[in-house]
């Protein structure tokens, strides 16, 4: 039985009241999720990929790359902190964070978030219109690139090991994966 007046779903106002304790908090459909801080391997891979994406997107003027922690406010009940975010519309950048679905989210898998990143997050991101979603697996040395189609993601590029990742939507973008894992 629930008490009258108690919220069943959290929103942005609840989210900003969460005390800073070093963990990453996110809201998906008003449900609170928490993840421990990332490992050094996770951070290294994320930082290296961020530099590669900046070299392409920022130097060509196509967009700006942000790294976690940064709030991405997709809806009032969906506030997330992906590892990397590519924003192509400067109007989405506010004093609160990134407002609305950006062009690309990148998640670097951790053992504790692997399932969440591949299922709940991916489904919600696709539903809310995040056009591109990349999953980076440091343990398997693999990068999977998905593009939204009919509110679900389809794999459009996949590279592993020391190969070079190329993406059909950005033909000039070539990412030497060996540099991520080095």
pLDDT tens-place string over residues 79-112? 999 999 999 999 999 999 999 999 999 999 988 8
Residue 88 has a pLDDT of 97
Query: What does the alpha-carbon distance between residue 72 and residue 8 come to, in Å, rounded to a whole number?
Result: 22
In the chain, pLDDT over 90 holds for what percent of residues?
Answer: 84
Question: How crowded is the C-beta side of 133, counted as CA atoms within 13 Å?
Answer: 24
pLDDT confidence band for 4 (50 / 70 / 90)? low
The model's pTM:
0.92
Cβ within 8 Å of residue 4, ≥6 positions away = none
Average pLDDT estimate for 153-182:
96
How do the domains of the chain map onto residue ranges? Answer: 38-181
The CA-atom distances, in angstroms, between 13 and each of 30, 73, 75, 94 are 11, 11, 12, 16
- On whether the CB atoms of residues 80 and 28 are closer than 8 A, the answer is yes
Domain 38-181, CATH 1.10.3720.10 — does that match? no
Q: Is 7 a residue whose pLDDT tops 80? A: no
Order the strands of the 142-149 sheet from edge to edge: 64-67, 84-87, 104-108, 132-137, 142-149, 152-160
Q: What angle do CA 149, 105, 179 make, to 5 degrees?
A: 115
pLDDT digit string, tens, across residues 103-144: 999 999 988 888 888 999 999 999 999 999 999 999 999 999
pLDDT digit string, tens, across residues 21-79: 888 899 999 999 998 888 999 999 999 999 999 999 999 999 999 999 999 999 999 99
């Amino acid at each position: 039985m629930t008490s009258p007046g108690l919220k069943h779903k959290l929103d942005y106002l609840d989210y900003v009241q969460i005390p800073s304790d070093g963990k990453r908090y996110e809201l998906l459909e008003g449900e609170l999720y928490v993840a421990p801080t990332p490992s050094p391997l996770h951070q290294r891979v994320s930082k290296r990929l961020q530099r590669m994406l900046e070299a392409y997107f920022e130097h060509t003027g196509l967009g700006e790359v942000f790294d976690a922690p940064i709030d991405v406010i997709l809806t009032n009940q969906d506030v997330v902190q992906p590892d990397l975010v590519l924003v192509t519309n400067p109007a989405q950048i506010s004093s609160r964070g990134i407002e609305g679905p950006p062009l690309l989210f990148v998640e670097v898998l951790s053992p504790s978030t692997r399932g969440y990143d591949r299922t709940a997050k991916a489904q919600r991101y696709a539903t809310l219109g995040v056009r591109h979603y990349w999953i980076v697996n440091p343990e398997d040395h693999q990068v999977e690139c998905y593009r939204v189609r009919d509110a679900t993601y389809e794999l459009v590029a996949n590279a592993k090991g020391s190969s070079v990742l190329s993406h059909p939507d950005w033909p000039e973008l070539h990412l030497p994966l060996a540099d991520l894992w080095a």
